[in-house]
Amino acid sequence: HYLLELWGCNEKIGDEAEVRDAVEEAVEAAQVTLLGDVHTHKFNPHGVSAMAIIAESHISVHTWPEYRYAAVDVYTCGDDAQPEKALEVFRKRFSPMRMEVQEIRRGILL
């Protein structure tokens, strides 16, 4: 489970279609299985949220364009997923001046 914080992002984080496209590209890059469509919501006056439910868990994005900030979660399970590649998609798409990534290992320990 990766938590990604992006500061100093470009204007794309305020565009609902751009955020949706970024999530769709991240799903493909991570080699995970999208269940249905990416769901998005544009807030008034600022901000976009997007959620992809994937067979391996989820990818979500919440943006605050007025602060040029975005928060992203990439949560996957299984050995075949490549969540690190999804992180790179958001870095390239949103061009942050600063990016921090935190990894949280989750799972059932038997």
Q: DSSP H helical segments within 1-110, as ranges?
A: 16-30, 83-94
Q: Is 62 a catalytic residue?
A: yes
Place of tokens 């050995």: 79
Is residue 9 annotated as part of the catalytic site, yes or no?
A: no
> Are residues 22 and 93 in contact, defined by beta-carbon separation less than 8 angstroms?
yes
**Looking at 1, 49, 60, 77, which residue is catalytic?**
77
Please identify which of the residues 46, 57, 58, 95 carries the catalytic annotation: 57
Residue 49 annotated in active site: no
Sign of torsion, CA 14 17 21 23?
Answer: positive
Question: Catalytic residue numbers?
Answer: 57, 62, 77
